[in-house]
Amino acid sequence: MTSNEMNREAVKLVAKSATPRKRVGSRVRAALFVLVCAPSVVGADGIAAEVSAGSAWIASRLSGMWDVDDRFALQLDYSVTRSESYAQNGALSLSYVASDHWSLGLSGSWSPASMSSWSTTLEMDEDARLSAVSSTVSLVATATYDTAGDTDHETQAGLSLGVDHVQSQQTFACMCDAELAPLWSQLSRFAINASVSRTEYRDTDLGLDATYYIYDVDPRYAGYFRLPGIGQLGSGIAIAPLRYAVAPSVGNRWGKLTGTLGLAYGENLADEGFELAANVRFHYKLSRELRLSASIARAWNVDAFDELSTSSSLSLGGKYAW
């Protein structure tokens, strides 16, 4: 997994924590994307678009929201990321308002196979070419409780269970005598997430989000070729080997403007490095129908060898509801 991919994973940790909590009357729509970077459903028919860019990648996303009735809402997302490779992702989410206090959510996403390739020089001064074709399927179920009152002090809490399943096939080509068959790898990551948000004096939101990850195989070793005298070759499975992550946030509303600061810290497996990210996001309500948003994020990744890599990203977006 490249450092850019790991830093994008760190930015995702704060994307949700830096999204302001939006109340719709006395009910709150469930947070449908707990483990991925996606806008929250705000309980209105509409469309939304966002463009994000980092030092080595650019991504765009288009979302459509539809309130089926007073209790059910659907959201459809399509996103494209261009970096060393070209990756697409589609997601479909369903939320259900069970009562004034409880709401449920279910979302699934799929990233079809995308290919990336790179060159390296082996210790015997031979050039090698490696490539990987990977795809991902994800599923998240969420339950949210909201006090749903009209006082100056309200609380929202949520619990979600999610799984990401990644499949990857890597190939190795070398001018040397080494001949390796294509390497087929797959990995499932399970996530248990809990979050709580406290609204103080109607305009200030204090949030805390925590996630614990479980893997069916060790992501630090999955997806690598192993050559005698050389060690591991390849990029591995394109997923950050996190054991847990915590993300506090604080937000405030000033009339039509909302600002949120989110932080996130993630510890890798076996204490082999960590990820830290910060995100500042602003929402501005131009009218009842149109809203604009902008955010800037910074991520730091320290690997098992204490080597530091950093990245920054900027995103601009908008939503039109009717």
**C-alpha span between 166 and 137 (Å, rounded):** 7
When pLDDT is cut at 50, 70 and 90, the band that residue 133 belongs to is confident
| Position 141 confidence tier, pLDDT thresholds 50, 70, 90 | very high
**Mean pLDDT, residues 195-216:** 96
pLDDT of 22 above 50: no
- Please report, rounded to a whole number, the percentage of residues in the chain having pLDDT higher than 90: 61
d(CA 251, CA 279): 12
For the domain 3-321, what is the CATH code?
2.40.160.60
Please give the full DSSP string across 151-201, using - where no structure is assigned. SSEEEEEEEEEEEEEEEEEEEEEESSS---PPEEEEEEEEEEEEEEEEEET
Give the range among 43-47, 54-58, 297-301, 303-307 with minimum mean pLDDT. 43-47
Least confident stretch, 66-70, 154-158, 228-232 = 228-232
User: HSE (CB half, 13 Å, CA atoms) of 106?
Assistant: 3
For the segment 264-299, what is each residue's pLDDT rounded down to a tens digit? 999 999 889 999 999 999 999 999 999 999 999 999
Cα–Cα separations (whole angstroms), residue 248 to 67, 195, 295: 30, 9, 17
pLDDT for the residue 71: 94
pTM for this predicted structure = 0.82
Listed by start position, the domains of the chain span 3-321
Question: Mean pLDDT over all residues of the chain?
Answer: 83
Say if residue 260's pLDDT is above 80: yes
